[in-house]
Chains A and B, each alone.
Chain A
Amino acid sequence: AQSVTQPDIHITVSEGASLELRCNYSYGATPYLFWYVQSPGQGLQLLLKYFSGDTLVQGIKGFEAEFKRSQSSFNLRKPSVHWSDAAEYFCAVGDLPNTGFQKLVFGTGTRLLVSP
């Protein structure tokens, strides 16, 4: 069955430092991969997604992610973190079960803390 693993429950980064959040997936076919962000008390917002083409994907708020099929990974990166980036980050894989409609399978999330 499809699954997503986010090995880091919490990560603390200094403001201005670079960030990498890890995501590994298990999926039999070509994966459709997503990163969503959840700010405190808010719903989820899409940062970026990959489904074909260039394996380096640019998203909103200065985020990017790289799809590496050989490592089954889709890590999220940002070169310089801002205090407003403190949030919960979710990696997800889009499954297309026999219903023909998308089903998102989420990882357990990584909480990003930004220190001054």
Chain B
Amino acid sequence: DTAVSQTPKYLVTQMGNDKSIKCEQNLGHDTMYWYKQDSKKFLKIMFSYNNKELIINETVPNRFSPKSPDKAHLNLHINSLELGDSAVYFCASSEISGGAEETQYFGPGTRLLVL
């Protein structure tokens, strides 16, 4: 019973392509997040959504567009992929709407390699 799942697990693609990563959580949480982990393992938030509404957008390029069709899903679409987009992308979710003490539950990650 995977709590936060992501597909695909691996993604290898050429520069300039458009790709999507899907995330689903079956925890009944209200808030979902996308993080980017670079080659040095540095983890940085990109977006967060609460009940399908965008809450946080951390100055991510417009080529990245999150979409939340319902509160259990948060997908990430990336246009015109660049070499620097190569990273591991993590989806996460948390239960309560608001509160700095909340626990976030992470998916297994999607390893994106742009050639």
Contacts and interface: CB of A to CB of B under 8 A. Distances in A.
Interface of A: 32, 34, 36, 41-46, 49, 51, 88, 90, 94-97, 99-104, 106, 108-109, 111
Nearest to B42: A108
Q: What size tier do the contact residues of chain B reach?
A: 20 to 34
Given A44-B43, A46-B103, A101-B50, 15 more contacts: A36-B106, A42-B109, A43-B106, A43-B107, A43-B108, A44-B104, A44-B106, A45-B106, A46-B104, A94-B101, A101-B48, A101-B97, A103-B56, A104-B104, A106-B43
B84 interface: no
Most buried by B among A41, A104, A108: A104
Interface in B64-115: 90, 92, 94, 97-109
Nearest to B49: A101
B34 to A, nearest CB: 12
A101 B57 CA distance: 12
Question: Helix, strand, loop or mixed for chain A's interface?
Answer: strand
A106 B56 contact: no
A94 B102 contact: yes
Nearest to A46: B103
Contacts of B44: 106
B108 A102 contact: no
Contacts of B98: 96, 100-102
Contacts of A46: 103-105
A102 B97 CA distance: 9
B33 to A, nearest CB: 8
Contacts of A96: 98-100
Contacts of A108: 40-42
Contacts of A51: 100-101
B90 to A, nearest CB: 6
A106 B46 CA distance: 13
A104 B103 CA distance: 10
A48 B100 CA distance: 14
